[in-house]
């Protein structure tokens, strides 16, 4: 799991039988759900849900490197790649226990919205500092 050493938050995802599609591998939509769960775990480290902001996805992508089959456990590394005034860009890597390799990678841009007005707002300074500190734990400098 050397590939995960640069990710400050690693979310463990058990692949369920129901995640499979008619072609006997994990359906592509599930990868986005897996990345969402990892993203929420990261955001919980920041206590961002206690703030007066929402984070919404402006864009996301996933590159599928190898098919994933049931049963398996994925370790999903998540980190912030870029801090902007009102947005952050995160990256993900999905590592398969069964295959002992990375099976997918992805990215998402999250935009901050004010909870009341639903207008774009700046990332709070304390959250920005928590992200910087969390990333520094694995030697990632933003």
Write out pLDDT tens, residues 43-69. Answer: 999 999 999 999 999 999 999 999 999
Q: What percent of the chain has pLDDT over 90?
A: 98
pLDDT at 3 over 90: no
Residue 134's contacts (CB-CB under 8 Å, 6 or more residues apart) are: 8, 9, 42, 45, 46, 80
pLDDT in tens, 85-122: 999 999 999 999 999 999 999 999 999 999 999 999 99
pTM flag (> 0.75): yes
């Amino acid at each position: 799991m050397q590939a995960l050493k640069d990710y400050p938050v690693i979310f463990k995802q058990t692949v369920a039988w129901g995640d499979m599609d008619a072609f006997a591998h994990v359906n592509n939509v599930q990868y986005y759900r897996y990345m969402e769960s990892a993203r929420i775990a990261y955001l919980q480290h920041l206590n961002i849900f206690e703030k007066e902001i929402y984070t919404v996805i402006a864009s996301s992508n996933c590159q599928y490197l190898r098919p994933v089959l049931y049963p398996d456990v994925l370790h999903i590394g998540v980190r912030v790649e870029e801090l902007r005034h009102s947005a952050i860009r995160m990256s993900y890597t999905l590592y398969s226990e069964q295959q002992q390799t990375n099976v997918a990678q992805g990215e998402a841009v999250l935009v901050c919205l004010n909870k009341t007005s639903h207008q774009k707002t700046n990332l709070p300074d304390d959250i920005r500092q928590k992200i910087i500190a969390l990333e520094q734990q694995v030697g990632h400098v933003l």
